[in-house]
Amino acid sequence: MVHIDNVSTCYLNKEILKNISFKVNERDFLGIIGKNGVGKSTLLKVLCKLVKPYSGNVFIDCKNINCFSKKEFAKMVSFLPQYLDTSLSFNVFEFIMFGRYPYMNALKIPSSKDYIAVKKIMNFLQITNLSQRKINELSGGEKQKILIAQVLAQETDIIVFDEPTSHLDIGGQNDILEILRDLNENYNKIIILTLHDLNVASEFCNKLVLLENGSICKQGVPEEVLNHVDIERVYNTKVIVEMNPISNRPYIIQVSKNLIA
């Protein structure tokens, strides 16, 4: 369980997050949504101990994250940043092996256990055929899968993604999100991610946090959070909110302002 308690951060004397508090329970698939630059990524980084809040605390299983050693923490929370330099010409197998670093000794020499773990993950994601390919030669969708494999190799209970689907086509997006859903439902992973696509957020997340100007505007199930009053205000645009007949989750259509006037 993750508990974010009254967290505020600032960058260059400008407050980014103001008094953020929420809880993430076991088996949650939590989406963080909001405008560009509202502090979504910063919030994730606070969670992953990459940004230090100037006030407030983050607790994992009732223990303050500052009390964990670097290695201990790396075995509990894994993070997939929004931009990752994948231009290095490592091959896929070696790249995924980086995820095993928290389990290795000081010289970072993989043991047979690490090899087995990586192979298992590659089977699970059906990327065994890519094993010897160079990562800088892969397509966007394949790369994203490799990055997820790397994160999975870390074997953490909490996985944090910063916009895992941002530059994939809708087929690729669904591939990735179905994997995340599978991990969440069948492997008891807590998934925390930021998303731009509200429809995707609605379909896959069981809980949403909507940020506005660095504080939480609304949190709860998608049906509550994705109402057209809040969305229109936060995103400063006109939308129509309808119901998806199959999943019974809300979906959102943008409308051009001139058409309404």
Return d(Cα 218, Cα 196) in angstroms, integer. 16
Strand pairing class (207-212; 215-220): antiparallel
User: Shortest Cβ distance from residue 213 to another protein (Å)?
Assistant: 25
Site string for another protein, 3-42 (x = CB under 8 A): ----------------------------------------
Tokens (6 digits) for 101: 């670093």
Residue 150, SS3?
helix
Q: Please identify, using beta-carbon distances, which residue of 88 and 243 lies nearer to another protein.
A: 88
| Residue 146 to residues 87, 107, 196, 213, Cα–Cα distance (Å) | 13, 24, 22, 34
User: Shortest Cβ distance from residue 202 to another protein (Å)?
Assistant: 28
User: Shortest Cβ distance from residue 151 to another protein (Å)?
Assistant: 9
Q: Please identify, using beta-carbon distances, which residue of 95 and 204 lies nearer to another protein.
A: 95
Cβ neighbors of 179 (< 8 A, separation 6 or more) are 125, 145, 148
Among 78, 144, 184, 202, binds another protein (CB under 8 A): 78
Tokens (6 digits) for 216: 């939480």
Return d(Cα 124, Cα 108) in angstroms, integer. 24
Among 91, 131, 166, 213, binds another protein (CB under 8 A): 91
Residue 210, SS3?
strand
Which one, of 11, 27, 87, lies nearest residue 207 by Cα? 27
Q: Please identify, using beta-carbon distances, which residue of 61 and 137 lies nearer to another protein.
A: 137
Q: With binding defined as CB under 8 A, does residue 258 bind another protein?
A: no
User: What 8-state DSSP symbol labels residue 43?
Assistant: H
Return d(Cα 248, Cα 221) in angstroms, integer. 12
Contact (CB, 8 A) for 110 and 104:
yes
Q: With binding defined as CB under 8 A, does residue 85 bind another protein?
A: yes
Site string for another protein, 129-148 (x = CB under 8 A): -----x-x------------
User: Shortest Cβ distance from residue 79 to another protein (Å)?
Assistant: 4
**Which residues in 99-118 contact another protein (CB under 8 A)?**
99, 101-102, 104, 106-109
Chain residues that interact with another protein, rule: CB under 8 A: 45, 48-50, 69-75, 77-79, 81, 83-85, 87-91, 94, 98-99, 101-102, 104, 106-109, 134, 136, 154
